[in-house]
Amino acid sequence: MLGFFKYYNFFVDNFVAAFASVGIELNARTLNIILPVGISFYTFQTLSYTIDVYRKKLKPTRDFIAFAAFVSFFPQLVAGPIERASNLLPQIEKPRTFNYDQAKDGLRQMLWGFFKKIAIADVCGQYVDYIFMNYETLAPLYLALGLLLFLFQIYGDFSGYSDIAIGSAKILGVRLMVNFNYPYFSRDIIEFWQRWHISMIRWFIDYLGPVLGGSRGKLWRRFRSSIIIFTVSGFWHGANWTFVMSGFLQGIFIVISYVIRQKRKKKMTKVVAQGKLLPSFEELVEMLVTFTVIWFVTVFFRAETIGQAFDYMSRMFYNFGDHKIPIGWDIAALIGGLIAFEWGNRTKEHPLQFVQFNKPMRLLTYFILIIFV
């Protein structure tokens, strides 16, 4: 179902283009079909259920209503996190009672999610769309800025939606898995993918990884598995070669990161600068290098074609344009506030779990965030 609805036209178009490149014209037709909302997410959830039952890791449920609720659980249906039946089904099957503290925490997490989605992602998105539409006329500085803003746009979009989903599920007495864990504070690419869209990458590792040989065996096989997994995960995001390239590059950098880890033999703490206010100089450099790598790969995630991605990158190093765009300090202040607030609360599930604040400070924070939204 996922292959048909999401990828049928992609494969037909590329099949026709491949033959056209050698002078053979095919009269293949694409279909004008509507992509069902959230099909990638509930397809993966039902696949994981079927595979876990087949592997005897999970007993099949006899409650069809509970199974249907697991598949169509509305908070995370269209954008994740991708839940496992082993976590979500037992919570649906057992009786639940309203938990005031959990619901209150859920509302806080939803507020933080709305702030990231509306005040950060949507505002950044306006600038990003303009820059990518006019990149041929803009100076390199604005092109670099466009990619930077896009990083915060996709973070605000994906993680913001996850916070809203997890928070609303808490109100219903259901705990969904953590999907984003402050990924922009990562010290290498491996750590980044342990913190970014966690439910997706774990799904690929758990269900595609064993088919490719798992994490055991010869080193080259493990590297091959990593590159294939990340290439497929890129393709999962959309039917475009840009997503495939983005995933492939992530896999390459994962391998490089693993080699560097093995050579350095450095033990990495669970949280960067754990118990400290500021990171060390080494940690700061590691985070900046990691962020730069992600910043570089992101151009393939945003560009409409591979050619446009390379053209965009080349123009970042040559001054083909000088047109200026009005970017105010408001977006810089919002992003700066986001980084500072998340850094100060990076050990918590979400930044609004600041129990050390007194009631007036908490209410003032809520009020400011609501005003921004």
Any idea where the domains of the chain sit in the sequence?
2-93, 100-187+268-372
Q: How high is the mean pLDDT of the chain? A: 90
For the cut 70, the answer to whether the pLDDT of residue 215 exceeds it is: no
| Distance from C-alpha of 88 to C-alpha of 328, rounded to nearest angstrom | 44
Looking up tokens 């954008």 gives: 79
Q: What is the DSSP string of 104-134?
A: HHHHHHHHHHHIIIIIIIIHHHHHHHHHHHS
| pLDDT tens sequence across 133-172 | 988 888 888 899 999 999 999 999 999 999 999 999 999 9
Distance CA 13, CA 28 (A): 8
CA distance between the termini of the chain: 37
pLDDT of residue 317: 84
* pLDDT reported for residue 269: 82
Higher pLDDT, 356 or 138: 138
Is residue 237 part of the annotated active site? The answer reads yes
> What would the pLDDT profile of 307-346 be if each residue is shown by its tens digit?
999 999 998 887 666 677 777 778 889 999 999 999 988 9
Both structure tokens of 185: 């504070």
| Bridge partners, 181 (sequence order) | none
Q: Could you tell me the CA-to-CA distances from 67 to 43, 93, 114 in Å, in that order? A: 13, 9, 29
Q: How confident is the model at residue 194 (pLDDT cuts 50, 70, 90)?
A: very high
* pLDDT score recorded for residue 178: 94
Q: Report pLDDT for 43.
A: 92
pLDDT, tens only, 62-75 = 999 999 999 999 99
- Report percent pLDDT > 90 for the chain: 64
Of residues 311, 309, 191, the one with CA closest to residue 261? 191
The predicted model scores a pTM of 0.92
**C-alpha to C-alpha distance for 320 and 175, rounded to whole angstroms:** 51
State how far the Cα of 267 lies from the Cα of 276, in Å rounded to an integer: 17
Both tokens of 209, joined, read 């990884």
